[in-house]
């Protein structure tokens, strides 16, 4: 039969009652450190990102008629907040299956985007997608928003 050694020299000097008494203190210290770490992470985040709103995007023209399948089109884009304040440095992306065009809004929230959409042979129209990305607002995405018609 096997017996356990009675020599306690290998154990630590802390008794069981000391460990039980110190346990709540260690838990409190761990919780305080966790709260400090979480608070510092949350303070680095931008508060408007928690309550972001969708920008108002105005694009002209919505329907364009072109004479050639690779004609250049200029779109006038304005990006505003819900209370009609301009959003500057918003990235406006207009894309088609083969072509993409990007520009950034100025201080008045306006930009011009030039794109040369490719209309494949046999088709008379294509649709362009619009994506607007800003720092403190939700991204605006609308597929098939702009229509380009080929005049034959």
φ and ψ at residue 122, rounded to 5 degrees: 95, -15
Return d(Cα 112, Cα 95) in angstroms, integer.
14
Fold for 56-150, please state it.
Immunoglobulin-like (2.60.40)
pTM across the whole model: 0.64
Per-residue model confidence (pLDDT) at position 32: 94
Q: pLDDT at residue 25 above 60? A: yes
CA dihedral 22, 28, 32, 34 (to 10 degrees): 90
Q: Confidence band (pLDDT; 50, 70, 90) for 43?
A: confident
Say which range, 20-29, 41-50, 54-63, 91-100, has the weakest mean pLDDT. 41-50
Q: Give the chain's mean pLDDT.
A: 84
């Amino acid at each position: 039969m096997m017996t356990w050694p009675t020599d306690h020299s290998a154990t630590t000097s802390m008794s069981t009652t000391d460990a039980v008494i110190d346990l709540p203190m260690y838990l409190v210290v761990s919780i305080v450190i966790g709260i400090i770490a979480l608070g510092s992470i949350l303070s680095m985040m931008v508060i408007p990102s928690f309550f972001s709103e969708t920008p108002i995007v105005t694009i002209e023209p919505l329907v364009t008629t072109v004479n050639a399948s690779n004609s250049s089109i200029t779109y006038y884009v304005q990006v505003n907040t819900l209370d009609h304040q301009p959003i500057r440095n918003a990235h406006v992306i207009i894309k088609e299956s083969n072509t993409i065009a990007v520009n950034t809004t100025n201080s008045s929230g306006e930009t011009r985007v030039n794109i040369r959409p490719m209309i494949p042979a046999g088709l008379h129209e294509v649709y362009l997608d619009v994506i607007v990305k800003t720092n403190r607002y939700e991204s605006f995405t609308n597929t098939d928003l702009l229509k380009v018609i080929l005049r034959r």
